[in-house]
Amino acid sequence: MINNSVKNAGKFEFDKDFVVNRLGYGTMQLTGKGVWGAYKDPQQAVDLIKKAFDFGVNFVDTADSYGPWEADTYLAQALKEYPDSDKIFISDKVGQVRTGPNEWIPLGRPEFLRQEVELSLRKFGRDHEDLLFLHRIDSQVPIEDQVGELKKMQDEGKIKHIGISQVTLDELKAAQKVAKIDAVENMYNVGHHQRDDAIVDYTKENGIAFLPWFPLATGQLAKEDGPLADIAKKYNASPAQIALAWLLKRSDNIIPIPGTSSLDHLKDNLESADVSLSDADFEKLSSLE
Ligand SMILES: NC(=O)c1ccc[n+]([C@@H]2O[C@H](COP(=O)([O-])OP(=O)(O)OC[C@H]3O[C@@H](n4cnc5c(N)ncnc54)[C@H](OP(=O)(O)O)[C@@H]3O)[C@@H](O)[C@H]2O)c1
C-alpha cells in the first residue's frame, strides 16, 4: 500500500507539533517552461498535489518564485479542497525575484522578505509559515539583516521555523549567530554529494533538517539507461527509487522532496521508501561521484 510506503521513510521531528514523514513533495515542476508562468493544466496540478496528500505526504516544499506564484496558487487550492489540510506542513521560500524563464535574482532586502512572507500567508490562508527559507543569501545585503528579518517575523509568530538555502558551512554558521536555523536546503543527490557531505553531517549532529534539492538531478538519475539502471534491476526497483533510497539511507535528518508533474512518477517516488539498500550497495552508490 502506497500510504504505508511514505510511513516507511520514517519521520523527522521539528518540534512536538511538527513531525513530518521523511518523504515530501516539491512543487517546482508545476509551472511553465523555465519555472515561468502557469502549468499547462492547472486542474491537473491541483489534483496531483491532493493525490500526494492522499498518499501520505505531509511535507510540501514550495516558493513564491515558482511561476512566480503559480505553484503556490495550485498548492493553496489543493489545501483549500483537502480535509485536514492544517496537518500539511509547508516548507516555503522567499528571497528571489524572477525576471523571465530560468532567470533568478537573489533579493534579500528585509522589506521584500517581509512582503513575500505576508503575501504567502495571505495566499495559503494561514497566520504563520511552518518553515520559511531564505531562498538565497543576497550578497548585497548583510546576512544579519536578511536572517534578522526572518527572526523578527518568528518573534512576531509569523514563522515557526527558519531555514536557509544553498549555503556553505561557514554561511550556515554565520546564520546560526543571528537565529536558530532548523533546516538547510542545498543541491544534493547520489551523483553530486561530496561538496555538501560535511554540511549533511553537521546538520545531523545539530538536529537540523536537510532538504536535498534536485534529488533526481532533474530526472537524469531517473533515466532507464542512466547510472542507476543496473542496481535498480537488482532491487526490482526504478532508478528514481534507488536515488531516493540512497538519500533516505544517507542520514535520518534528510527529507527528499522529489518534484514531478506525473501521477505515475509520484507513486514511483513515494514507493522508494520500500527499497532497503544493503550497506555494500549504499557504499558503491556513494562512490559514483
Ligand atoms: N532551494 C532551492 O534552491 C531549490 C532549487 C531547485 C529545486 N528545489 C526544490 O526541490 C524540488 C525537487 O527538484 P526538481 O523538481 O527540480 O528536480 P528533481 O526532483 O531532481 O527531478 C524532477 C524531474 O525528474 C522527473 N521525475 C520525477 N520523478 C520521476 C520518476 N519517478 N521517474 C522518472 N522521472 C521522474 C520529473 O519529470 P516528470 O514531471 O515527468 O515526472 C522532473 O523532470 C523542487 O520541486 C523544489 O521544491 C529547491
Cα–Cα distance measured from residue 281 to residue 27, given in angstroms and rounded to the nearest whole number: 30
Question: CA dihedral in degrees (101, 60, 190, 247; nearest 10)?
Answer: 180
Pull the grid cell for residue 230.
Answer: 543496473
Which residues line the pocket of ligand 1, CB cutoff 6 A? 26-29, 61, 135, 165-166, 185, 213-219, 222, 238, 240, 257-262, 265, 268-269
DSSP code for 18: E
**Domain boundaries 10-218+254-260, corresponding CATH code:** 3.20.20.100
Per-residue pLDDT at 1: 63
Cα–Cα distance measured from residue 47 to residue 41, given in angstroms and rounded to the nearest whole number: 10
DSSP reduced 3-state for 209: strand
Active-site entry in 25, 66, 74, 188: 66
From first to last of the 289 residues of the chain, give the pLDDT tens digit: 677 789 899 999 998 888 999 999 999 999 999 999 999 999 999 999 999 999 999 999 999 999 999 999 999 999 999 998 999 999 999 999 999 999 999 999 999 999 999 999 999 999 999 999 999 999 999 999 999 999 999 999 999 999 999 999 999 999 999 999 999 999 999 999 999 999 999 999 999 999 999 999 999 999 999 999 999 999 999 999 999 999 999 999 999 999 999 999 999 999 999 999 999 999 999 999 8
Cα–Cα nearest to 88, from 116, 118, 62, 115? 62
Mutational test site, ligand 1, from 214, 220, 241, max ligand atoms within 8 Å of CB? 214
Whether 116 contacts 64, CB under 8 Å:
yes
Measured in Å, residue 4 CA sits from the centre of ligand 1 at: 22
DSSP reduced 3-state for 132: strand
In the annotation, is 82 catalytic?
no
Contacts of 283 (CB under 8 A, 6+ apart): none
What ligand 1 atom has the least distance to the C-alpha of 217? 20
Whether 146 contacts 110, CB under 8 Å:
yes
Mutational test site, ligand 1, from 70, 260, 266, 271, max ligand atoms within 8 Å of CB? 260
Whether 181 contacts 163, CB under 8 Å:
yes
Backbone angles phi, psi at 97, to 5 degrees: -105, 155
Measured in Å, residue 27 CA sits from the centre of ligand 1 at: 8
Single-letter code of the amino acid located at 53 = F
Dihedral sign from CA coordinates of 202, 166, 57, 124? positive
Cα–Cα distance measured from residue 188 to residue 191, given in angstroms and rounded to the nearest whole number: 8
Whether 25 contacts 266, CB under 8 Å:
yes
Domain ranges for the chain, please list them: 10-218+254-260
Question: Cell 538547510, residue?
Answer: 184
Cα–Cα distance measured from residue 270 to residue 281, given in angstroms and rounded to the nearest whole number: 20
